[in-house]
Amino acid sequence: MTFQKADWPRKLRSHEWYGGTSRDHIYHRSWMKNQGLPADLFDGRPVIGICNTWSELTPCNAHLRDLAQRVKHGIYEAGGLPVEFPVFSTGESSLRPSAMMYRNLAAMDVEEALRANPLDGVVLLVGCDKTTPALLMGAASVDIPAIAVSGGPMLNGWFRGNRVGSGTALWQMSEDIKAGKMSTEDFLDAEQAMSRSPGSCNTMGTASTMASMTEALGMALSGNAAIPAVDSRRRVMAHLTGRRIVQMVKDDLKPSDIMTKPAFENAIRTNGAIGGSTNAVIHLLAIAGRVGVDLTLDDWDRLGRDIPTIVNLMPSGQYLMEEFFYAGGLPVVIKHLGEAGLLNRDTITVSGETVWDEVKDARNWNADVILPVEKALTQHGGIAVLKGNLAPNGAVLKPSAASPHLLTHRGRAVVFEDIDDYKARINDDALDIDETCVMVMKNCGPKGYPGMPEVGNMGLPPKVLKKGIKDMVRISDARMSGTAYGTVILHTSPEAAVGGPLAIVRTGDFIEVDVPNRKLHLDVPEAEIADRLAQWASPVEEPAGGYAKLFHAHVQGADTGADFDFLKGHRGKAVPRDSH
């Protein structure tokens, strides 16, 4: 089964700008020609945008200029006219208060750039965590032919004979410093080994997860997710993507044709199989909302509950993205799902072929990296969605990164009112806490921080670390890095800043966590919970102006994707009448 091609030739969208002899047509064409473009490039061939998130402030994407050139080669070869343009780049490693706060801004930038310009199709150049969902969201809102190509992960880091995984090693070493197991000098030495090539995180963090989600959705060519950034095959992928988008325009193959409910189901199951980031939950919910697909947290729990995690990568496992690519990459994982009856085989990808046709001949070249099911890291991977009186709208946990003995737990809450309160008290040996307690942090959700930062994987107190304890139950309305690990319950909804039950938890309350039964319960009488909520007042002030004010006023909860309420659905490609 393949995508039904549209009749060709047909009138292209760009023809409205360039395809005539009127004053307005000449106005549009003549200004473009100041770049040295020959007249015959405006003879009716497809105009393809290259939406580039290159930025030196976004280290993961700092090599995308070269990939853009490779995309252009492919577009020219296939008979299109490539035009590259920049959009807001959300760099996870430096952007404050949180890159997540600006995902929606980047998506708005992409949407309006695509709608307002004479583009027939677009190649989305993505890499760092939020650039991938932001560009998919913006493209979905306009719904012109679109295809993504990722910048790829960096090469393995190595320190004293051991693999250094992006982020994961940082969290581990930071804890070792607090526990007195590592010196500051060694920590600084290890820093030099952490990022040894261009590219995004080399663990199965959010960047690699979202590259995998893009491929599983069918929005990138098969094999895109895992090719290292510096491997020549990454350039080949960009070149082939440039060729492919021209044909997609001719066939009128759009995001709404590809990102269907069955495609999202494939992506959710794939996330479970790769041990993907909890951030994928929020991003896929937001992307689905732009396409008009009804996707919920319940879908995440239902579809991912019984998926074995077979990709042995940090933070859940042992290896890194470089080994994943050499083993065969994501096509092997998707093929396994298809063989297990867990794949909607007939979903269409950007290739015009079905997802099954793309992966049916894939081979696993390293069974230590992509494990057989009987040796899975966990037989019940995916994302667990917990509900109860502490999280009426849901909270999420990644079982493959959690400690099995903590998946059923009852403990005394130790509450931090926000991230500043946590930082002020966590290293104090007088803090009344031990490994049986449940660490709770409030006011770090979409409105609370603002922007829902990756602080949910709270570091443990030194007094506990020095006992050799490496994990405790942690609960918040924040996110955590996809490179992080531990028994961490995240995205608690409604968030504390809008009066969710998390807001009224007090130190000394007992909390019950029952992951097998998907339960998160505050062991306080319902009448007392109601009384506390009635007396509650938000500690979060509304921003005075600017984008922060817009964000605070319109961002929705994590349980629906933290998108803006006025951006749900796609608005199409129509533009106001030309005024020239």
User: pLDDT category, 443, cuts 50, 70, 90?
Assistant: very high
Burial per residue of 126-151, b for 16 or more beta-carbon CB atoms within 10 angstroms, e otherwise: bbbbbbbbbbbbbbbbbbbbbbbbbb
Residue type, 297: L
Q: Tell me the average pLDDT of the chain.
A: 93
* Averaged pLDDT, 447-472: 93
157 or 361: which carries more pLDDT confidence? Answer: 361
Is residue 1 over pLDDT 60? Answer: no
Query: Alpha-carbon distance 30 to 284, whole Å?
Result: 41
User: pLDDT category, 51, cuts 50, 70, 90?
Assistant: very high
Cβ contact 32:21 at 8 Å: no
Is residue 161 over pLDDT 80? Answer: no
Q: In degrees rounded to 5, what are phi and psi of residue 490? A: -125, 170
Q: Supply the DSSP string of 66-134, one letter for each residue.
A: HHHHHHHHHHHHTT-EEEEEE-----TTT-SS-GGGGHHHHHHHHHHHHHHS--SEEEEEE-STTHHHH
* Averaged pLDDT, 137-151: 98
Cβ contact 116:576 at 8 Å: no
User: pLDDT category, 580, cuts 50, 70, 90?
Assistant: low
pLDDT tens-digit readout, 392-432: 999 999 988 899 999 999 999 999 999 999 999 999 999 99
Strands 121-126 and 146-150: parallel
Is residue 308 over pLDDT 60? Answer: yes
Whole-structure pTM value: 0.95
pLDDT tens-digit readout, 543-577: 989 999 999 999 999 999 999 999 998 899 987 66
Is residue 45 over pLDDT 60? Answer: yes
| Percent of all residues in the chain with a pLDDT value above 90, rounded to a whole number | 80
pLDDT tens-digit readout, 172-212: 888 888 888 888 888 888 788 788 888 898 999 899 999 99
- pLDDT at position 256, please? 97
Go through the domains of the chain in sequence order and give each one's CATH number: 15-155+197-375 (3.40.50.2300), 159-194 (no CATH), 384-541 (3.50.30.80)
